[in-house]
Amino acid sequence: MSLTVPRRRAAAVLTAALLVPLAACGTDAKKDTAGAEASQSGSGAPAAQLTVLAAASLTDVFKTAGAAYEKSHPGTKITFSFAGSQELVAQVAQGSPADALVTADTKSMDKVKADANAATVIAKNRLVIATGEGNPHKIDELKDLADTKLKVVLAAPEVPAGKYSKKVLDGQKVTVKPVSQEPNVRAVLSKVELGEADAGLVYKTDAASAEDKVDAVEIPDAQNAIAEYPAATLKDSKNAEAATAFVAWLSSPEGQKILQDAGFQKP
């Protein structure tokens, strides 16, 4: 008997020693499974750190849209880089790392066809005349902008807002000598907000974002230009599936409601 007990104890110790790593393996397997599940967002799209290049006029609405998307897609984080569409196109051409691009006109998007996948128009916009609060110079129509006593600021010709501005002014045969030409439409708005300009042509949504600082003079549809916003994923994206999911979401009922609540028109 004195020999049997130690042998049984030894066997028990050996069995326990063998079971410990097996239990650990089971725990690791559960962790791996949980980790895999955690890498998926709530919608089934893969979690990712997305970088989206977007037109300056989308600054406010995309901050709202990004927060809403992240809330409904746990694990996905979106970083936006806002600038004039011409600047965004240059960044893509230079190989700047990004996952998606949204411009304020289709011509800008056409310039990156070799670097982007098929684009979808997600929203439309139109121009208004932004003036100081209370419209102190009593500007009522495009022709009023020809007054040389007014300090008028426009977006530069290579900027989508600048192209649209030229189109509507030329269409009404209005000659404007701007005191400055800005690199994006938000810079135009800022000049008017700060009182450095008496008026400027901006998108309707831009004026709405600063309604406590500027007034917006509507431009009749027959004299106006419609801005289109195409969105596309970039071919060099390292998060192609997640980027595709976000771009598709912009056309979803939830994404469209956010855009339209901000004053953008249906695509």
The top-scoring range by mean pLDDT among 14-18, 31-35, 155-159 is: 155-159
Read off the pTM.
0.81
- Average pLDDT of 60-89? 97
What is the predicted pLDDT for the residue at 46?
Answer: 64
Element spanning 201, H or E: strand 199-203
What is the predicted pLDDT for the residue at 47?
Answer: 76
Question: How far is it, in rounded angstroms, from Cα 113 to Cα 103?
Answer: 13
Instruction: For residue 39, name the pLDDT band (cuts at 50, 70, 90).
Output: very low
- Average pLDDT of 157-171? 97
**Between residues 159 and 38, which one has the greater pLDDT?**
159
Asked if the domains 49-124+228-261 and 126-226 are classified in one and the same CATH topology, the answer is yes
Superfamily of domain 49-124+228-261: Periplasmic binding protein-like II (3.40.190.10)
Mean residue pLDDT of the chain comes to 87
Superfamily of domain 126-226: Periplasmic binding protein-like II (3.40.190.10)
| Residue 217 near residue 131 (C-beta atoms within 8 A) | yes
Q: Is the pLDDT of residue 91 over 60?
A: yes
| Residue 55 near residue 103 (C-beta atoms within 8 A) | yes
**Choice among 2-6, 82-86, 187-191 with the minimum mean pLDDT:** 2-6
Domain ranges, ordered by start, for the chain: 49-124+228-261, 126-226
- Average pLDDT of 152-160? 97
Q: Is the pLDDT of residue 169 over 90?
A: yes
Could you give the 3-state DSSP secondary structure of residue 132?
strand
Element spanning 52, H or E: strand 49-55
Q: Is the pLDDT of residue 36 over 80?
A: no
| Residue 152 near residue 200 (C-beta atoms within 8 A) | yes
What is the predicted pLDDT for the residue at 10?
Answer: 40
